[in-house]
Amino acid sequence: MKKLLLLSLFYTGTVFAHPHAFIEMQTKPLVEQNQLVGFSTKWTLDEASSSAVLYDMRQARGEAAQQKLVDEVMNNVVNEHYFSYFFDRNNNKIKYKKQVKNYGVNKEGAKVQYYFDFLLAQPKQLENNEFTLMTYDRTYYVSMYYPEEKSAVDFSGLPTNCKGHIEAPNIDEKIRSYAASLDKTQKDEDDSLGVMFAQRVKIQCE
């Protein structure tokens, strides 16, 4: 059986840039006792990527074999720190726990959706604080994005002293042209494209 597609897409160092696959994201901050403890996330693959994943799932014999494929994907996502970069107001990088929670996979029409919770290594006080979350593939082979036409980030769990929004990246036209010029056999030289195209989830609390 060939490697599950999401694994091959998400092996940093072996994939190439620009993008050639798309993941639509939904995220919800998880709050307990006025502390931010993590994020609940859904990733929906594009139809072409989903088709390959569904093929592998059909080839797996029995629920145990299918669950093993999902476990492999989640283990790789954890090893890549959830492809997410989280900072406080002083731009200090915040670490995560290595154990993913409440994870699984759904079929949404012709698309595959992975869902999971990832937790901070230590809860963070929200009061008088500010946070920035970015989720992206460094090579930009996979475009990971929050769709504009949906409420992609659910801020309803934040206390009343907090507000949240999504900031779109300001991308130079030369960078767009460079990314578009790369085909599947070419690699971005320094893996910096992903962060340039990354949206920012901002949480600001008084």
Pick the closest to residue 34 from 102, 151, 125, 146 (CA basis).
125
For the ranges 65-69, 126-130, 175-179, the maximum mean pLDDT occurs at 126-130
User: For 94-145, how does the pLDDT look when each residue is reduced to its tens digit (9 = 90+)?
Assistant: 999 999 999 999 998 999 999 999 999 999 999 999 999 999 988 888 889 9
Asked whether the predicted pLDDT for residue 206 surpasses 80, the reply is yes
Q: Quick one: DSSP state of residue 82?
A: G
Burial class, 18, CB count within 10 angstroms (exposed 0-12 / middle 13-18 / buried 19+): buried
pLDDT at 187: 53
Strand, coil or helix: what is 10? coil
